[in-house]
Structures are given as structure tokens and as C-alpha cells.
Copies of this chain bind each other. A is one copy, B any other.
Amino acid sequence: MTSSANISDSVASSLEPTLDRQFWFIDGSDRYALGVRHTGQVLFDRQSPYQRVGIYETLDYGKMLTVDNLIMCTEKDEAAYHEMIIHPPMLAHGQVKDVLIIGGGDGGSVREVVRYPEVDRITMVEIDAVVVEASRQFLPTLSHQLDHPKLNLIIDDGIAFMANAPDASFDLIVIDSSDPVGPAEGLFTAEFYQQVYRCLRSGGVMTVQSESPWFNRSALAELHQCLRGVFGAEHTHCYLTILPTYPTGIWAFNFCSKQGPHPYHHLDRDRALAFTQSQGLSYYNPDIHQGAFQLPTFVQQLLQS
């Protein structure tokens, strides 16, 4: 913007004429940063035993949930994450009865799962009750199904829960975690995914948020390699979603199965389209379900490295 200014001078000087003072939440690294402007009014700010949990009112993206220095989700674009971590596995499998969600304290993943009447039971294991509390209080569009009668919400360590869960007890397991630092670090290990594999029914499916192919290249590459080791290469598939409030705007998931369905070859497109339309989804549809698994060459190469 100017020829040699730090981030503050650049933003401030370009906006001086119209604004006296600005409040920005910054996510990213010391080399690439995403700034989301908020009103300055912090709706929620509490240090839990695990992390600092915040809710901000942004100018463009509605209310925003943060954990430590990271944006977890905003009201305006969270559908791109929650619809895409839930509907590809649900509709590829087609007969999910028992769902386990690890993490997901904001409630967005539960909200998407309860759209399916054929689901009998949802177990959600969130380590941090403060995330659930913040979301219940300030993010009703995400959390409004957290009292659903099919849901068993457990505040506990997902890693310990997984280690003690019975064999072959779930059709779908969703790892809806934060980044591989702090409490979520153990969710990025082979030991954990061996437990996930054990607890899936035959033909069962798992999805996991897998970081950014631009921003956290090594985290994505290592997780994908780890999952291939556990589930087998032919049952491990990466796919992408578009999310402007995560750094670099693109985010990856992995779809794995226990000798289960291919993620999109046998998709019942008619059912998926009818579902999309009847539910009024804002991101998922059968086209993007299939398109999301088509990867740019540099991502294909990253995953093979």
C-alpha cells in the first residue's frame, strides 16, 4: 500500500479519513495475516482451563468465536465448514444411525447431523465447556440443536473417550477439532486414528478438519499420510472448502472409511439434491460434493509427498 510501512501504518493511513479507531482480530502467522474487523465490543472473554475463549461482533461476518489467537468460526461463513464436514460423509454412506463428534463445541456439526431423521444417536465429546457456553449464549444459529433429544453431550477429553469407546459402535465419526496446538494436538496422531478405526462399524466413515494446503502444508501432509497408514490409501481422500475467515481462505478435510463407500463415485445425486433444497443449505450441494474432491496439482503433490 505504502512503500515501506508496517501493517498498522498501512491500514491506519488508508482509513484515516473515515474512521477514528479500529478494532481488528488478527489470525495467521508472522508472515501472512488475516484481519477481521470487529466493533470493539467483546461479547465474551474467558480463560478456560484449556484456552482463552472469545466472542466478537464483526462488521462483515456476524458474531465470531475465537480460541486463543485463532478464529474458530463466524456466523456468516461457518456453513462452508459445518455443511462440508457433515454432508459428504452422511450422504456418501447413506444409512448412518450412530454418530460420534469429537470437538464441535459450537454446535454447528450437531445442527447439520440432526437434519437426518434416520440418525438414532449423536454423541458429542467436547473438552471445553466454556466453548459450549459461549456458543449457547451468543451463537444460537450454531448451537440451537445442542438440546436435541438424540444428542448425548459429554464434556470430556476426546482422546480418552475414544480409547475407552466400544469396538464397532459408530457409523460416522467426525473430528471437528481446533488446530494441532494445545488441547487438540493429540487429535493428529496415528494412535488416535487407530482408536477411531476400531470404533467404526464396518463400512463406517470418518471426516476430520485437516488444516490449509497453503497455510499449514506440513500439518495437512502429515495428517494425510498418517490416515493412509491407518485406513489405507484407497480409503483416504482429501477435499476442500472455501472459508474466508480462515487464513488463506481454503481449508481441507479428509474423508476416510473402514472399507466403506467411495466418497463420491456412488453418490445418490437425486437424494443429495432433494436434501440440499429441502434443507435450504447455503454451501453443500451434489455438485460441490463431487467437485470438492478434485484437487489442484500442488495439493495432489503435497499429499503424495
* A79 proximity list for chain B (CB < 8 A): 298
Is there an interface contact between B244 and A250, defined as CB atoms closer than 8 Å?
Answer: yes
Instruction: Report the copy number of this chain in the oligomer.
Output: 2
A240-257, CB < 8 A from B: 240, 242, 244, 247-250
Is there an interface contact between B300 and A295, defined as CB atoms closer than 8 Å?
Answer: no
Is there an interface contact between A14 and B26, defined as CB atoms closer than 8 Å?
Answer: yes
Contact of A32 among B1, B37, B295 (CB under 8 A): B37
Among A11, A18, A19, max chain B CB count under 10 A is at: A11
Is there an interface contact between A294 and B288, defined as CB atoms closer than 8 Å?
Answer: yes
* CA distance in complex: A283, B299 (Å): 8
- Of A2-10, A98-106, A124-132, A148-156, the segment with at least 4 beta carbons within 8 Å of chain B is A2-10
Is there an interface contact between B19 and A30, defined as CB atoms closer than 8 Å?
Answer: yes
* A244 proximity list for chain B (CB < 8 A): 32, 214-215, 247-250
Q: How far is the CB of A63 from chain B (nearest CB, A)?
A: 15
Q: How far is the CB of A25 from chain B (nearest CB, A)?
A: 6
Q: How far is the CB of A182 from chain B (nearest CB, A)?
A: 15
A: contact size bracket: 35 or more
Closest residue on chain B to residue A7 by CB atoms: B24
* A300 proximity list for chain B (CB < 8 A): 285
A-B contact pairs, 8 of them (CB 8 A): A3-B42, A7-B8, A7-B11, A7-B26, A7-B35, A24-B33, A291-B292, A291-B293
> With contacts A5-B24, A8-B8 known, what are 20 further pairs, Cβ within 8 A?
A6-B12, A6-B24, A7-B26, A7-B37, A14-B26, A32-B60, A32-B61, A32-B244, A33-B34, A33-B37, A35-B35, A214-B244, A244-B248, A282-B296, A285-B296, A285-B297, A287-B295, A288-B294, A291-B292, A291-B293
> In this assembly, does A75 line the interface, its C-beta being within 8 Å of a C-beta of chain B?
no
* A248 proximity list for chain B (CB < 8 A): 244, 249
Across the A-B interface, the 8 shortest Cβ-Cβ residue pairs: A249-B249, A8-B8, A291-B294, A7-B24, A33-B35, A244-B248, A287-B294, A291-B291
